[in-house]
Amino acid sequence: MKSGFLCFLLCQLVSCAVLLFIPAGLHAADPAPKTDESGWILPGANAGTGWHLRLKDARAEAAKDDKPILILFTGPEWSSASKRLETSVLHSKEFTSLIRPAVVGLYIQHFVKTVAPEEQVSANQSLRKSLSVPAVYPCTVILASDGKKILGTIPGAPDKKEYILQISKLTGIKLAE
């Protein structure tokens, strides 16, 4: 009986040791994030498509098409509010059909878990600072088509109807009655 109990204890100790000493990421590695041609990390699938990563590219398109710039400062890998905005609003029929075609999107991600290129991290932090964006995630900033004048800021993650209404008021986008 004693040897059975000792065997049981030994098995329990080995199991605990294995759980404690094997790194968590060893079992199932996260897939590598998708990047653009220069190595900058692209928005995740929840954000939708067509987002710029650099202000200069968004400004060029906005000036050419005379559209305001919608800058989304987000952190979906660690902020539940950012994740909620991306999944419940950015993918909605209302947003993709009414707002997205009328603005130039700029996706600025605050990385915590993902190791991002230093140039991307620095550019994102610099843009946030230059626009005096509050430390709230997510935060949306709307710029005029010149890419310089701030039309307004939407801190946090309002519900879909409120978010679309606020963007409409700031940009002049007409919504169906």
Q: What six digits make up the tokens of 63?
A: 């000036």
64 in helix, strand or coil? Answer: helix
Model confidence pLDDT, tens digit, residues 54-104 = 999 999 999 999 999 999 999 998 999 999 999 999 989 999 999 999 999
* Residue 43's pLDDT band (cuts 50, 70, 90): confident
Give the chain's end-to-end CA distance (angstroms, integer): 80
Task: Spell out the domain ranges in the chain.
Answer: 45-171
Residue 171 neighbours by CB distance under 10 Å = 21
Total-model pTM: 0.79
Residue 30: per-residue pLDDT: 55
- Asked if residue 11 has pLDDT above 60, the reply is no
Sign of CA dihedral 147, 151, 155, 161: negative
Count CA within 13 A, CB hemisphere, residue 48: 22
Range 158-164 average pLDDT: 95
Does residue 111 contact residue 43 with C-beta atoms inside 8 Å?
no
Q: What six digits make up the tokens of 58?
A: 């968004």
CATH number of 45-171: 3.40.30.10
